[in-house]
Amino acid sequence: MAKVLADHFSQMARYNAWANARLLAACARLTPTEFAAQRVSFFPSLVETLNHVLVVDRYYIADLEGSGRVLVTDETPYRDVAALAEAQAESDRKLIAFCDRLDDSALQRTITIDRRDGVINVETIGATLSHLFMHQIHHRGQAHAMLAGTHVAPPQLDEFFLAGDLPRREAELKSLGIV
């Protein structure tokens, strides 16, 4: 089976893990008070924004895998950056593994998304993955902007993630287990 588009999603899953790791590593240089401080954005703090990314990742990965969503009552389950980074890395590994199992025909399969508001959506795996990656990028951008208002410089997240750039970041990607 063809894997041209499926390979794109595998690459996006790896980029996603890399960007999450970079952003959370920068946040680890903040004090717990700075990480939780109120800021201007859709979610009022870095801790809430980055927990939202993880919680939504878990929802969509459960939908994609067909394991069923487990709704959380605490939308901010990790107040500590190290614990959040570990949980996000685990979620990112699951997403990479899921994407690596896909071929292009699998992207057309439909899944059921049981949203919290009672709405049931039926979407293709490809459309769901596209939305999940867009959601990640959107909120990472907000967190990146919030981090710019601290003493910690926001990490570069929009570098080329191409084969020719691998030598410059191979050690970093290997340490994350994504190359």
Nearest 5°: CA angle at 76, between 75 and 81?
A: 155
State pLDDT tens for residues 53-68. Answer: 999 999 999 999 998 7
Domain containing residue 114: 4-176
As for how many domains the chain has, the answer is 1
H or E stretch at 63: helix 46-65
At 74 the pLDDT is: 83
Say if residues 139 and 18 touch (Cβ distance below 8 Å).
no
Q: Which two tokens stand for residue 142?
A: 């907000």
Residues of the chain with pLDDT under 50: none
Residue with tokens 């614990």: 83
Express as a percent the part of the chain with pLDDT over 70.
97
At 12 the pLDDT is: 95
Tally of residues, the chain = 179
At 157 the pLDDT is: 84
Which residues, other chains included, contact 155 with Cβ-Cβ below 8 Å and sequence gap of 6+?
22, 23, 25, 26, 144
Nearest 5°: CA angle at 63, between 60 and 69?
A: 85
CATH number of domain containing 106: 1.20.120.450
Say if residues 143 and 34 touch (Cβ distance below 8 Å).
no
